[in-house]
Amino acid sequence: MVESKISTTMKKIHIFGLIVIAIAIGIIVSTYGSASTYSNFTEAEELAKEGETSEVHVVGKLTKDANGQIVGMKYDPVMDANRFEFMLVDTNKIVKKVVYLSPKPQDFDKSEQVVVIGRMQKDYFECNKILMKCPSKYTNEAPDFKEATAEKI
């Protein structure tokens, strides 16, 4: 009698524990399912061909010309304030046009490495989000003292 009472007690707590574990596993599985991937243009293109609609992260570098201007950058707010284009070189050195359907991000000119999040269209990569790494902003990389010294001389 006493024993059976204890065993049902254990059962109840166990059931509760099992439910919690089940939810936790569900969370992990769903995270895996909704996670995006770090990718490159070639893979993004293949995904798009397969009809996959999920978005990918592409890490790439902006190429700059001798004047420090980003190559292939196009933004004409008078024509369309919500369209910004640039060329991006991915980790495999593949160059693609990236189209961002929003105004040009403020820090873009200072960026070198960017992460674009979106999917491949026919001949360009359409992105919804750009993450920028600006070397001057938060990092303590070798600071550029040139301006200050020039002022002194």
* Nearest CB to another protein, comparing residues 50 and 151: 151
Q: Is 131 in the site for another protein (CB under 8 A)?
A: yes
**CA torsion, points 66, 72, 78, 83, in degrees to nearest 10?**
-140
Q: Which of 85, 94, 79, 77 is nearest to 127 (CA)?
A: 85
CB 127 within 8 A of CB 98: yes
Q: How many of the other CB atoms lie within 10 Å of CB of 2?
A: 6
- Please select the residue that binds another protein; options are 48, 87, 89, 99, rule is CB under 8 A: 99
Tokens standing for 10? 């254990």
Q: 69-88: which residues touch another protein (CB under 8 A)? A: 77-83
Minimum distance, C-beta of residue 122 to another protein, in the bound complex (Å): 9
Element holding 116 (H helix, E strand): strand 113-120
Chain contacts with another protein (rule: CB under 8 A)? 8-9, 12-13, 20, 23-24, 27-28, 31-32, 34-39, 54-57, 59, 77-83, 99, 101-104, 106-107, 109-110, 115, 117, 128-129, 131-134, 136-143, 145-146, 148-149, 151-152
